[in-house]
Amino acid sequence: MTRAFRADRIFDGWRILEGHALLLDGDRVQAIVAKVPAGVPVVDLGAGLLAPGFVDLQVNGGAGEMVGPQTDLDQLARICAAHRNLGATSILPTLITDRPEVTVRVIDTARKAAEAGLPGFAGLHLEGPHLDPLRHGAHDPDLIRPMTDTDLALLEQAARDLPALIVTLAPCAASHAQIARLRAAGAVVSLGHSDCTAEDARQAFAAGARCVTHLFNAMSQLGNRAPGLVGATLTGDVQAGIIADGVHVAAEPLRIALTMTAPDRLFLVSDAMAAAGTDATSFLLNGRRVFRRDGRLTLADGTLAGADISLPQSVANLVALGVAPERALAMASRIPADVIGAGHLGRFTPGAQADMVLLDHDLRLRQVWSAETLTATA
């Protein structure tokens, strides 16, 4: 069944169009048109901005749940549903550094989610345990370790089995040969939680790493004689996720990153934790209490432990800094989808999945549609 959704403005993944309508054929995009064909039913959304559903590549938890030892298919479904209600219709549930048996369990559950076609599940992000203890952040330093041949084989198979797999690692914890093999298997290798030099980072990029995890956070910073991972990222051609909550990255370095990088190189991540989609004031992370106060998530010692922001809020924050709405919206939709090779997400092009969000003039979330709900109401 063909239907039209009309809004004052429509963002197609690249540009904002005024006075147009989005034609859907069931749960797939058909076209964006200036005039709706005769006989096609129209849903008039009025004064709002219709955009593709957002894509979040770093989601540690939500709905009171954390990806971890208890992860099963039902838990992943709850986390996906919580973020769908927050505007991210496709996510990569993210496991932070944990024990080997937990990694095995989460990968196995992710396979089941992929096989079941779990709504909102776009793949898996493994952030650790192959990190740099010097930049562990909120990760348990006792669980950080170098990558072994057994780890590599597990990750290679997961990359082949899953729709997408991001592996965040530090150059000191994985060899260039291991990075190259992960890339060859189809994984997106992302550098993060590392105190590496700029040269170390460039060598890892040459080996196959093509992304950086939460730019500026938990990594060697830009110095006048030691550019670090930040400097290598800003002057390289890799992509990088960034947290735009005003807490993890101040306005000045955020502006610098946006100015120095090509429009398609930076994308937004929420780095969400269990508190997302709830009113919880605290939760447990690997047995440690995380406190939620004033837009921050912190351990008892003040260490940041994830972020307390949604992607629509992140988009609004960028626009408030002077970023063009088209770029900010792309950073939450088309660009992260492209990072994981999901060309059917994050855009309104013929054949794309018809996930949609409606934002008001202040970019606040008003309504969410997923391909599944559209099919159910067709």
Beta strand 288-293 with 282-285 is antiparallel
Say which of 271, 308, 338, 355 is annotated catalytic. Answer: 271
* 221: its two tokens: 């910073």
Which one, of 176, 170, 124, lies nearest residue 146 by Cα? Answer: 170
Q: Which backbone phi and psi does 204 adopt, to 5 degrees?
A: -65, -40
Q: Describe the strand order of the beta sheet including 188-191 as a list of residue ranges.
A: 54-59, 88-96, 124-127, 165-169, 188-191, 211-212, 239-242, 266-268
Strand partners, 43: 5
Q: In the structure encoding, which two tokens stand for residue 180, read together?
A: 């190259």
Which pairing describes strands 28-33 and 16-25: parallel, antiparallel, or unpaired?
antiparallel
Q: Is 271 annotated as catalytic?
A: yes
Distance of CA 268 to the CA centre of its chain: 7
Q: Where are the alpha helices (DSSP H) in 142-250?
A: 149-161, 176-185, 198-207, 228-234
Q: Is the peptide bond before 129 cis (omega within 30 degrees of 0)?
A: yes
Rounded Cα distance, 245 and 80, in Å: 21
Nearest alpha carbon to residue 363 among 5, 6, 4, 11? 11
Query: Looking at the DSSP assignment, which residues form a beta bridge with residue 119?
Result: none
Q: Which residues contact 164 (CB under 8 A, 6 or more apart)?
A: 92, 122, 123, 124, 188, 340, 341, 342
How far, CA to CA in Å, does 151 sit from each of 128, 136, 174, 176?
A: 11, 19, 10, 15
Residue showing tokens 């997408």: 164
d(CA 363, CA 326): 12
**Where in the sequence numbering do the catalytic residues fall?**
271
